[in-house]
Chains A and B, each alone.
Chain A
């Protein structure tokens, strides 16, 4: 794949990636920081996400409301996300409003206020966000499974943090985290859309060039390469619905094995979209687990989840169980399908089908400038932009044997966590 991407580094260490796209009078401006829940310590979980919230509360020159209204008046939108490895802020705006995005993000890189009273109101907002998540049985199950999947690594923690930590974190904790990690040398500016590179470089120098260089004391945890030996977790809740989540260790995003595992995921649970901003997906009705579990009436739905991370993370399979089927029976069927992948290479036409699906999903995201901006930064958070450019080609090179090897290496029934969320009072009509 060819690209018109241009990359630069400012003297203060800020990396810059620019991609001109002139299909609509829009730009998508992203600033990525190399900090997320991966860089947090026990007792301070949720710091990175809370800092992200505080970035909307105001800077030395602008109140939060002023920034918010200035963005809204353009008709554009802005938002931010915190992940395990990164925190990112974006604005998608009419191209005439590019200066506004740069002015706001340059301010937020160095002079957010973190007023004590605003820290307190945001504490309750974040607790409310967490309470909304807790309402979902699948969040509670995912949190428990993730915690069991790692012994020490911070990937064991949900990005939003534990409630006890959210109640104890102080303004100083937040501000120190911000001052340490929000440095130009720990950031990437990614810009996609309708602009002229030569002119934009001058603007970037004007808004970001004067931000002083500052050292970053980065906590990089040791990767964990294997999950704990087989563990089973059971949670109970009201109602009839039951869920199963199975977590295996997966390779880090920049590993060659990652591409084989992507094809494996597609075969097992259906193709997953790469695009963050709704460009549509493909159903998974001919995936192996759908045909073995849903089409046989054992489950209502099945999905797979593979994330590209800096360190080895988890590959998850999620099942919504048929209430009248024993969850153990479902797990046994799932294991038969896993064993099939581990014991012989998948037919070539099945692999080719997964490759065509990946190519189509890749194309679906190309009509959206926000996705283009997202992928520039996201791919660089765990690899580099070539990872994105070569993505389809790498998947097309995956062989049936490579998929089988990936299944043998990563989908070991003795090296995984199985989580059940079951009806508190037992289902009234479970079949043996």
Chain B
């Protein structure tokens, strides 16, 4: 096998985004711009976020942030639904807005000559949505239809149950799309009020990447994004302190006519981009990602043939987020799969990963950097992470050294801080058992 190991390491690419080629500017209205040029691309990608999301909802109005974001493209004070969407689609551009727990996010793409048009439309939909009453009824119906589809989706049901058990009285416990009852009760006035209170450029960030000079992107932003003013924008409520569970939790959501059961198991993850986060990222890669799904894939899929898909995932984000293991298994094999996963976790927590595993994972994670930055959208997502987590502009050049500094023992110590096999949250959904 020596031949397969004789691969030279990837040389450091010359065009990795960094302080020398990323433009970062604060616009006069407080919005932050990050821009990077990809000279080979005829297109431009935008990605961004606003500082408002579902945590500002009351429990009887769940789904407000999500429906508000969806309806921004339903028409503005200046343009009807059809005119607005025709202005974007007819030039082959796209513009999507959605809401998460803490942020409303937007994403778009266009040919480079159409960037002024895309950004002026973005400002229009963010600042002057009309929430047309007839469209409101349709969007609500679409949301209710999606909820009825979700009600029969085994992964979605396992995920909703996991969040409910894991977060309990924390706002992250609530479904971001809302429930049948809360969406049914939402009114157009709820959306108008939510938009009025929380939308604005304070806390906004936008990344622009593609075939455009960053200075030109800045000029276009000064003529578009910078004109958006919202002096009365309110800040989001602070997240309450999260207290991790003291006992194990297990719940199965039965669904008829399902051939497969979806399974989730998890614990609290380290704070994103903390020192523990890097140690646990490498550990997670070894546990359930490296190659074809790491140690878990080798045990549950390759050796036992119990699952087509199994992996572990260290979530990122602001506030408490879970470290998850997810699998889809035949209902008859659910308990057997759980035993194998638990056995792998016991091994993961009882002894350090091997030196070879550590070396291989570090090499892989370093090698992934140029691949993740290959496309315009990959770079734009990376620039937003730099802004969101307050990282250095040279983060991608510094990352290899950070990963290299992590030791086997540090991974074990960090993983033990987060995984306690007596306090796991386990949910599943599929055939009743």
Interface residues of A (CB under 8 A from B): 23-26, 56, 61-62, 64-77, 92, 94-97, 99-100, 103-104, 120-132, 134-135, 137, 237-241, 270-271, 278-286, 291, 294-295, 297, 300-301, 320-324, 353, 356-361, 363-364, 366-369
Contact = CB atoms under 8 A, between A and B. Distances in A.
B63 to A, nearest CB: 15
Interface stretch (B160-168, B212-220, B275-283, B372-380): B372-380
Given A72-B291, A285-B81, A24 B89 contact: no
Contact of B89 (A76, A282, A294): A282
Nearest to A24: B374
Given A75-B363, A94-B367, A125-B307, A300 B40 contact: no
Contacts, number: 239
Closest 9 CB pairs of A and B: A75-B367, A360-B92, A94-B10, A121-B305, A131-B259, A300-B145, A124-B305, A68-B291, A129-B308
A56 B42 CA distance: 37
Interface in B119-155: 137-138, 141-142, 144-146, 148-149, 151-154
Q: Is the interface of B mostly helix, strand, loop or mixed?
A: mixed
B241 interface: no
Given A128-B306, A360-B111, A283 B94 contact: yes
Contact of A238 (B146, B256, B328, B365): B256
B267 interface: no
Interface string B323-338: 0000011100000000
Contacts of B291: 65, 68-69, 71-72
7 contacts: A125-B307, A128-B329, A135-B260, A135-B430, A271-B92, A323-B148, A324-B141
A26 B40 CA distance: 14
Given A75-B367, A132-B259, 9 more contacts: A70-B7, A73-B363, A99-B7, A128-B308, A237-B152, A297-B141, A300-B145, A353-B89, A356-B91
Contacts of B93: 282, 360
A405 to B, nearest CB: 24
Nearest to A98: B7
A320 B374 contact: no
Contacts of B3: 61, 103
A74 B7 contact: yes
Nearest to B135: A295
A323 B145 contact: yes
A366 B148 contact: no
Contacts of B88: 283
B246 interface: no
B85 A286 contact: yes
Interface in B343-384: 360, 363-371, 373-377
B305 A123 contact: yes
Contacts of A295: 81-82, 138
Contact of B367 (A76, A121, A239): A76
A132 B139 CA distance: 30
Contacts of A25: 10-11, 13, 370
Interface residues on B, range: 35 or more
B137 A297 contact: yes
Given A96-B8, A281-B94, A363 B145 contact: no
B9 to A, nearest CB: 7
Given A280-B45, A281-B94, A356-B92, A363 B259 contact: no
Nearest to B39: A23
A277 B291 CA distance: 20
A97 B305 contact: no
Interface string B274-318: 000000000000000011100000100111111111000000000
B89 A279 contact: no
Contact of B328 (A132, A286, A301): A132
B23 interface: no
Interface string B1-18: 101110111110101000
Contact of A75 (B81, B301, B369): B369
Given A280-B45, A295-B138, A356-B90, A320 B145 contact: yes
Contacts of B109: 280, 364
B13 to A, nearest CB: 5
A75 B290 CA distance: 10
Given A96-B9, A121-B305, A322-B141, A72 B375 contact: no
A83 B422 CA distance: 45
Contacts of A104: 4
Contacts of B45: 280
A104 B308 CA distance: 23
A356 B89 CA distance: 9
B242 interface: no
A236 to B, nearest CB: 9
B305 A359 contact: no
Contacts of A96: 7-11
Contact of B41 (A77, A99, A120, A366): A366
A360 B43 contact: yes
B146 A300 contact: yes
A66 B145 contact: no
Contacts of A70: 4-5, 7
Contacts of A353: 89-90
Contacts of A74: 7, 10, 363-364, 367
A72 B364 contact: yes
A77 B367 CA distance: 10
Interface in B41-98: 41-43, 45, 73, 81-82, 85-86, 88-96
Given A320-B149, A361-B92, A77 B371 contact: yes
A24 B303 contact: no
Contacts of A237: 152, 256-257
B73 A100 contact: no
B428 interface: no
Contact of A132 (B13, B148, B309): B309
B90 A286 contact: yes
A25 to B, nearest CB: 5
A124 B306 contact: yes
A77 B292 CA distance: 10
B27 interface: no
B142 A294 contact: yes
B160 to A, nearest CB: 15
Contact of A240 (B8, B151, B256, B258): B151
B38 interface: yes
Nearest to A70: B4
Nearest to A53: B308
B255 interface: yes
B44 to A, nearest CB: 10
